[in-house]
Each structure stands twice: as structure tokens, then as C-alpha cells.
Amino acid sequence: MSARYIRPQAMKSSEKIFSKFPSLRIVVIGDVMLDRYLWGSVDRISPEAPVPVVSIHKKESRLGGAANVALNLKALGVVPVLLSVTGRDEEGKKLILLLSDSEIDSSGIIQSATRITSVKSRVLSKNHQMIRFDEEATHDISRNDEEQLFSLLKKNIESKKVDAVIFEDYNKGVLTKSFIPRAIELCSKNKIATFVDPKKNNFFSYRNATLFKPNLREVSEALGRIVMADTTDLTLAHEQLKRQLHHQNTFITLGEKGAFIHDGKNGYMLDAHIRNVADVSGAGDTVISVVAAAMCAGAEMNDAAYLANLAGGLVCEKPGVVTIELNQLINELKN
């Protein structure tokens, strides 16, 4: 069964959900990176090649990947715990400094001599991305680093309350096919909800998760067919995924067409809100953060997905990878 999901207008339930955010402690585990921005202007074409010359007037580094998910949780009032592996390099030091500046604990970051820290550098002019270049390692982390990462996860679960674990996979090698099932099993034994933002390489490794959140392109690639953005085909895609993943909830983002959600019983389409889209970078990080926080605070999956879809649209109005403050989400919900 599929339908279009219409959220009740009453604010009381949302206020109750939001009030619980500061008491939540959510672990984010996965690939972290630096998002580097070079802002400039274009007023001529290069005499060396038919390409624009960008005169850079501002440089900025931001937290990216799993670190941006942790930052999103922090902006919502949730206590994030970030676990990852970086290189033992200047970029890794910069990332840890940014975490400190954002008041996010960096003790769960393993600095490995066998890695380099992932950096995505974007050149922008008038808020439009001109080009992006990446510096990264995509091979799996070493066995020793993997064991250290698992020990950090286990220590956090055993020593303090953990409400959920978010797996943020960018296929950079931190989340391996041997690590993922061990981590989900550990969470399951301790009755901890698991939320997955997957990528291609490990797509079908995330079995038995609480919520699985791919985008439409990723679902099509994984199933080996073009999945149409309509309720009938998306419901079929959910069923095909569930036969392999045995997860509880599906959340498929559809870009400008909104999202599709399935709670194991019914499927719904969530309409996209009309936006002046500046940049879609980081929208998925916001979506997984909000849906995890809301469900951990007691929201039904459908309501949590509605809030996440709303927040994901908000971040697209701003250039670069940004976060949404809780008061912004509240105001948007009221409007």
C-alpha cells in the first residue's frame, strides 16, 4: 500500500520531540573529510586554455562527511560522538581543530600513518561551483585501525548511554565489509537503533538496520535497474531491498521530487518543498541527522522523515556544506 503522507498541523508533538534532543547521545561512525572552499570571481578566460580564470578572494575549511553529520546533530542540540580514521597529516590536524572549535569531542578520531585525510576542494564563483578536486585514500583501513575503531564503539556503548549509531559511508575505506556486520550486531545486542547512509561498495553489507537511507540513483545501481520515482516502483524497490537487508524502515531521497518512506507496513511519498536551490552538498547529512534524532526522541518514522525532508530542503538554499540550527527547523515547521 502506498499513499501521499500529509503531516498533522499540530505543533505539540514536535515540541515534545525537540525538547528531548539535548538528552540524546548519538554515535556517528564513518568517513570524515575536510570540505575546503575557494571563493572568487571570474572576469576573463585564460590565455593558456579555454577555461575561466577565478580570482580567489576567500578560503574556508568546513567539516565534511561523517564530521558534518556530527555537526548537524550538535546544531540540533544532540550530543554527538564521532568515531573515524584520518591521516596523520596537516589536514587531519586541521579537521581535529575544527571539531574542537565546534565543541565536538575528537577523542574518537584515530590518526593513522597508513592513511591520508580526505579533502574535497571546491572553487566557487557567485555561489556556483566551478570545479571540485579531491585528495583522498579509498582503500580499506588496516586491520589494526579497524580493531581500534571497533574497540572505541564498544567502549562507548558499554560506558555511557548511546541512543543510536549512524553509519555514514562515503566509500573512503573506514567502514569495511568485515566491520559493518560486527558493529550492527553489537548495537542490536544492546538494543541500540542503527541508521545507515550507504554507498555503492558496501550497500548490501548493512543487514538488520533500523533505517536504511539511500538515494534513488544508489537504489537503481544496487538493484541493477532504473527505479522510477513513483509509489508503485519505489514500493517494489523497498521490497527488493528488504529481502536482502532485512531492515525495518526505508527512506529513499528523490532530490527535487522529495522522498519515499516505508515503515515496513505502508509506503508514502513526501513532497519536496519549493526552494531556491543553491547547493545540494551535505543535504543527505542533514536528513540522516534529523531522522535519527527525531526517532530516538520518540517520533514515529513518518513524522521523523517529514522533519528530515523539511530540513534537507533548507540546507539546499545555502552554498556549500552547511547545518540547520534547531530554531530554523522549528520556524520552518511553523510556517
- Going edge to edge, which strands form the sheet with 109-112? 2-4, 267-270, 259-262, 249-253, 211-212, 193-197, 164-168, 25-30, 79-87, 109-112
Note the pLDDT tens digit of each residue in 141-163. 999 999 999 999 999 999 889 99
Residue type (1 letter), 124:
L
Question: Which of 44-48, 101-105, 260-264, 329-333 has the weakest average pLDDT?
Answer: 329-333
- Percentages helix, strand, coil for the chain (3-state, rounded to 5) are 40, 25, 35
Question: Is residue 26 one of the residues assigned to a domain?
Answer: yes
Question: Is residue 52 one of the residues assigned to a domain?
Answer: no
Question: Is residue 4 one of the residues assigned to a domain?
Answer: no
Range of the domain at 170: 10-34+64-120+137-334
What's the pLDDT at 10?
Answer: 40
Strands (DSSP E) along the chain, which ranges? 2-4, 25-30, 32-45, 52-65, 79-87, 109-112, 118-125, 128-135, 164-168, 193-197, 211-212, 249-253, 259-262, 267-270
Question: Is residue 126 one of the residues assigned to a domain?
Answer: no
Question: Is residue 78 one of the residues assigned to a domain?
Answer: yes
What's the pLDDT at 321?
Answer: 52
Cα-based angle 230, 233, 238 (whole degrees, multiple of 5): 110
Residue type (1 letter), 171:
N
CA distances from 333 to 13, 324, 327 (A): 12, 13, 10
Question: Is residue 147 one of the residues assigned to a domain?
Answer: yes
Question: Is residue 304 one of the residues assigned to a domain?
Answer: yes
Across the strands, what pairs with 249?
211
Question: Is residue 129 one of the residues assigned to a domain?
Answer: no
What's the pLDDT at 257?
Answer: 85
Q: What is the pTM of this model?
A: 0.90
Cell triple for 183: 558493529
For the domain that residue 146 is a member of, what is the CATH number? 3.40.1190.20
pLDDT at 235 over 90: yes
- Residue that wins the pLDDT comparison between 8 and 172: 172
- Count of structural domains within the chain: 1
Give, rounded to a whole angstrom, the gap between the first and last alpha carbons of the chain: 30
Across all residues in the chain, what is the average pLDDT?
89
pLDDT at 277 over 80: no
Please give the DSSP secondary-structure letter assigned to residue 31: -
Q: Active-site residues: which are they? A: 285
